[in-house]
Amino acid sequence: DTVPKRVDPTGGPPETLATVPNAAARSGAWNGQGDIVLGSWGGGSGGLTFSLDRTSLNFTFEESTLPPAQTVTATATGNYSGMLYIGAVVEGQAIDPNIPATISGTQGAFQIRPVANLAAGQYSGRVLLLACSDQQCNNRIGNTPLAVSYTVRVDPTLKVSANSVTLNAVSGNEASAQV
């Protein structure tokens, strides 16, 4: 089993982040090798739900800088048995579509950050977090997608150009050019 660290950046099918084989030991935690156990198991996906620790993100920073990522934690409760795929769809242009995710027990932590080199301005949109039973994410699990709205404010900074101006002046007279 492989455990990719990111969701698909194109909004296409998510990569396999974790699988839950039917024959896996049901220890109640992720074994670090692709198996995840989401609580008690009875087969099927009846009653599996996800909750988020926050549903909005706000970023404010200056041009040419990048703020640290903010974490959104999803917690799963209920029963599920089978393959589990996660993914994210970024709506809008200000969030980096490469969203690292870490699974621990019944929780997934998603690291969300703005894209680099945004022009000054205000941006908003949503990130939709998905849990699916198929790689194409046609069969959603539980109550996904889960929406996380975002606002990104990029403040302008003073920019200095490399152009030069030659000035000549005699004391008491105006300069030979405007600055």
The answer, yes or no, to whether residue 2 has pLDDT greater than 70, is no
pLDDT, residue 46, reads: 53
Show the tokens assigned to 97.
Answer: 């579509």
User: Using only C-alpha atoms, what is the Rg of the chain?
Assistant: 24
| Range from 27-31, 105-109, 170-174 that averages highest in pLDDT | 105-109
pLDDT, residue 137, reads: 84
Contact 36, 19 (CB under 8 A): yes
Confidence of residue 53 (pLDDT cuts 50, 70, 90): very high
pLDDT, residue 168, reads: 73
The per-residue pLDDT for range 82-95, each reduced to its tens digit, is 878 888 899 999 99
Show the tokens assigned to 47.
Answer: 């009653």
pLDDT, residue 158, reads: 83
Peptide bond into 145 cis (omega under 30): yes
E strand or H helix at 87: strand 82-91
